[in-house]
Amino acid sequence: MIIVALTGGIGSGKTTVANMFKNLGVPVYDSDKEAKDLMMSSKKLRKEIKALLGDLAYKDKTLNREYIAQKVFKDKGLLKQLNEIVHPAVRKDFLKWAKKQGAAYVIQESAIVFENKQEDFYDKIILVTAPQEIRLERVIERDNVSKSKIMDRMGNQLDDEDKIKMSDYVIDNITLDETRSKVKEVHGLLLKDSGV
């Protein structure tokens, strides 16, 4: 089984592309969603996150995402420490999940593969890209947040130019038809690589 990363900057449309792969029958693991679930369900993670960010990281036993975002997106050191707590737990959970899938390849959707120096974990990497203006529009519409908050997050992610050099496939996600066509093409190549 081939282990594939699906990555891209905020607002690039990773989830849209992930759903297109799901529609082709490919198992997709959503790292962001699973990380949030683990941050809620794991007593060990809760304890470590509270030790790092304080008791306000949880509000009524629920993850206080706004508070955490305010703390970490302006402090790269703090963000790195939080990632060092959460990412090994997500990696372990992903590998357990992948073993249960009976597919030619599986995809782990993860925003920060390169930023966390995790590219060696994967057999292939798919990068989703889109022009910055389109990405900003998408995130403002989706999350109802200010441009400056999005720019803070973008500042914590590598530029697409750097990521393209390290990726096996690039899907430029501007129009849905073109994106769908590129997803089918990459799907065919991955099936071929897996020997199916």
Quick: pLDDT tens for 12-41: 999 999 999 999 999 999 999 999 999 999
Q: What is the pLDDT of residues 167-186, one digit of tens each?
A: 999 999 999 999 999 999 99
Q: Is 128 helix (H, G, I), strand (E, B) or coil?
A: strand
CB 70 within 8 A of CB 145: no
Alpha helices, H only, the chain: 14-23, 31-41, 43-53, 65-72, 76-99, 132-143, 147-155, 160-166, 176-193
Whole-model pTM: value is 0.88
Residues of the chain under the 70 pLDDT cut: none
How many degrees, rounded to 5, is the angle at CA 31 between CA 28 and CA 37? Answer: 115
**pLDDT on residue 82:** 94
What tokens appear for 179 in the block? Answer: 């994106």
Residue 26: DSSP 8-state: -
What is the spatial distance between Cα 126 and Cα 124, in angstroms, rounded to a whole number?
A: 7
**pLDDT on residue 131:** 93
**pLDDT on residue 140:** 87
Instruction: Taking each helix axis as running N to C, give the angle between helix 176-193 and helix 14-23, from 0 to 180 degrees, rounded to the nearest 10.
Output: 60
**pLDDT on residue 100:** 97
Residue 183: DSSP 8-state: H
**pLDDT on residue 152:** 79
